[in-house]
């Protein structure tokens, strides 16, 4: 299965990954400041506590994130959402001008909504090339084909 990888898509991914690395570092520092403090409401429908929501919104405002696209602001492009799922603090970063998005895993909260663990940054690659991505897709397809043949050779034992 041949995929068409363009220089534009590779450059966009590299730039977005660089942004994601930067945002993740900022948010991990923010969450670290809240270690052993409540950031997530556990009653009702949940959600960020008012104090932590204020700190998060301040970060977004300082970096011009989450600004609705309007005629006055035609260049808004980054949307950042923070939520908890299965006691994990996760930020979802999206580029509104493309389909690029990534989940940033920041830490964990205990059952009462208190930050009990902050994760380390995950460095995403920012040096992809058209050739390396095309070669990786080609190699993945070859390995998948090889695995199908190998599974077929032992299908009598299923």
DSSP 86-138: TTEEEEEEEETTSS-EEEEEEEEE-TTSBEEEEPPP--------HHHHHHHHH
pLDDT at 74: 61
Could you give the CA distance from residue 41 to residue 87 in angstroms, rounded to a whole number? Answer: 11
Task: List Cα–Cα distances, 105 to 81, 86, 116, 136, 148, in angstroms.
Answer: 12, 12, 14, 25, 33
Q: pLDDT below 70 — which residues of the chain?
A: 1-2, 73-76
pLDDT at 140: 96
Contacts of 88 (CB under 8 A, 6+ apart): 105, 107, 108, 109
The reported pTM is 0.86
pLDDT at 76: 67
Backbone angles phi, psi at 88, to 5 degrees: -100, 135
Give the angle subtended at the CA of 65 by the CAs of 40 and 91, to the nearest 5°.
35
Could you give the CA distance from residue 95 to residue 24 in angstroms, rounded to a whole number? Answer: 15
User: Nearest-CA neighbor of 65 among 46, 47, 91?
Assistant: 91
pLDDT at 77: 84
pLDDT at 14: 96
């Amino acid at each position: 299965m041949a995929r068409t990888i363009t220089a534009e898509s590779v450059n966009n991914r590299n730039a977005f990954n660089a942004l994601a690395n930067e945002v993740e570092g900022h948010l991990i520092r923010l969450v670290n400041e809240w270690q052993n403090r409540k950031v997530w409401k556990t009653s009702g429908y949940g959600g960020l506590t008012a104090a932590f929501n204020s700190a998060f919104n301040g970060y977004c405002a300082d970096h011009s994130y989450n600004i609705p696209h309007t005629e006055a602001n035609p260049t808004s492009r980054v949307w950042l959402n923070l939520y908890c799922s299965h006691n994990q603090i996760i930020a979802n970063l999206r580029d509104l001008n493309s389909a690029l998005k990534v989940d940033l895993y920041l830490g964990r909260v205990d059952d009462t909504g208190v930050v009990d663990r902050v994760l380390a940054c995950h460095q995403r690659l920012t040096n992809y090339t058209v050739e390396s991505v095309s070669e990786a897709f080609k190699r993945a397809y070859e390995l998948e084909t090889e695995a199908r043949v190998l599974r077929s050779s032992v299908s009598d034992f299923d």
